[in-house]
């Protein structure tokens, strides 16, 4: 969020899809005003959350001409999801992942359903697809053209915790980021094939992280290498000043309290599980 916010005019082009627990953080009210989408966790809420996401994409992402979606397919923190992921992997004959968890693909399937351009189809199929989108209130445009898979690693496998982030007292460290960029047509259209594509992506991600923690660096392949024309420069330093952070948190707390008082229905939302 800090990196996107530093780019002039870009924050209003991005939509975040995150767990509903973040609604109650110091940036929750900002995300709510920004029309980001909060996923309600739990199997009993799955279909309702996906329907809500489908509506949000049509009502906000398309109409407000957003350009980028940020999605966390693992659906939670590693320490909370790892055991569930292992049980699912054993049940479905998949490898047990140690540094990440198997992804949930429901939200991605909805995103692809609404926002990806049509594939190589005959003219009649294209007309039917466009007609369906117009009837649902969407003027079709090929909004998404790339999928960027991002893997983040921290020194010694110790990520920044919530206390570190809120206080800004932790000593500086280098955060390593590995990108894989896919053209949208490389992403399978069939939901079953899409799930297995994502599983394989996360199996590779786990191997990447294993190599990182063994060697202290990601493998150097693709863009950013010498002669590629897109050289990687020195790490960019992000300075976290504790005094500035205290001031920001006081502002967030005060503004959240103000909106809590003015709009209590936003924070008292209870999903209908019937």
Q: What is the pLDDT of residues 187-212, one digit of tens each?
A: 999 999 999 999 999 999 999 999 99
pLDDT tens for each residue of 132-151: 555 555 554 547 889 999 99
Measured distance between the N- and C-terminal CA atoms of the chain, rounded to whole angstroms: 35
Radius of gyration of the chain measured on its C-alpha atoms: 20
Report the C-alpha gap between 84 and 181 in whole angstroms.
28
In the chain, alpha helices (H): 2-5, 28-33, 46-56, 78-92, 106-115, 123-135, 162-167, 191-215, 242-262, 264-267
Please return the burial class of 212, using the count of CB atoms within 10 Å of its CB with bins 0-12, 13-18 and 19+: buried
Give residue 141's pLDDT. 54
Give residue 274's pLDDT. 44
The yes-or-no verdict on residue 5 having pLDDT over 80 is no
The yes-or-no verdict on residue 172 having pLDDT over 60 is yes
Close Cβ partners of 174 (under 8 Å, ≥ 6 residues apart): 155, 235
Question: Distance of CA 271 to CAs 50, 51, 107, Å?
Answer: 13, 13, 18
Query: Which residue would you say has higher pLDDT here, 117 or 133?
Result: 117
Give residue 133's pLDDT. 53
Question: Distance of CA 23 to CAs 44, 130, 232, Å?
Answer: 19, 35, 36
Report the C-alpha gap between 192 and 43 in whole angstroms.
19
What are residue 61's phi and psi, to 5 degrees? Answer: -60, -50
Range with the poorest average pLDDT among 98-102, 178-182, 263-267: 263-267
Close Cβ partners of 247 (under 8 Å, ≥ 6 residues apart): none
Give residue 140's pLDDT. 44
pLDDT tens for each residue of 43-66: 788 888 899 999 999 889 988 888
Q: Which of 59-63, 154-158, 231-235 has the highest mean pLDDT?
A: 59-63
Range with the poorest average pLDDT among 51-60, 173-182, 194-203, 225-234: 225-234
């Amino acid at each position: 969020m800090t990196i996107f916010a530093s780019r002039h005019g870009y924050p209003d082009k991005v939509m975040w899809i995150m767990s509903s627990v973040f609604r109650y953080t110091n940036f929750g009210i900002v995300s709510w005003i920004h029309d980001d989408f909060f996923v309600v966790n739990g199997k009993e809420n799955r279909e309702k959350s996906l329907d809500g996401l489908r509506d949000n994409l049509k009502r906000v992402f398309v109409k407000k001409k957003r350009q980028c979606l940020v999605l966390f397919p693992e659906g939670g923190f590693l320490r909370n999801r790892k055991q569930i992921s292992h049980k699912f992997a054993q049940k479905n004959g998949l490898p047990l992942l140690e540094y990440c968890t198997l992804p949930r693909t429901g939200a991605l399937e909805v995103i692809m359903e609404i926002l990806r351009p049509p594939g190589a189809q005959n003219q009649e199929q294209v007309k039917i697809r466009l007609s369906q989108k117009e009837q649902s209130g969407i003027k079709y445009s090929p909004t998404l053209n790339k999928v960027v898979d991002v893997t983040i690693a921290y020194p010694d496998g110790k990520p920044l915790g919530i206390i570190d982030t809120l206080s800004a007292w932790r000593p500086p460290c280098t955060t390593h980021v590995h990108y894989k960029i896919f053209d949208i047509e490389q992403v399978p259209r069939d939901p079953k094939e899409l799930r297995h594509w994502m599983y394989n992506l996360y199996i590779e991600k786990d191997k990447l992280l294993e190599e990182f923690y063994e060697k202290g660096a990601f493998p150097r392949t693709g863009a950013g290498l010498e002669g590629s024309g897109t050289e990687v420069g020195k790490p960019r330093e992000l300075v976290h000043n504790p005094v500035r952070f205290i001031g920001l948190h006081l502002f967030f707390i005060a503004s959240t309290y103000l909106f809590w008082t003015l709009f209590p229905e936003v924070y008292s939302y209870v999903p209908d599980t019937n």
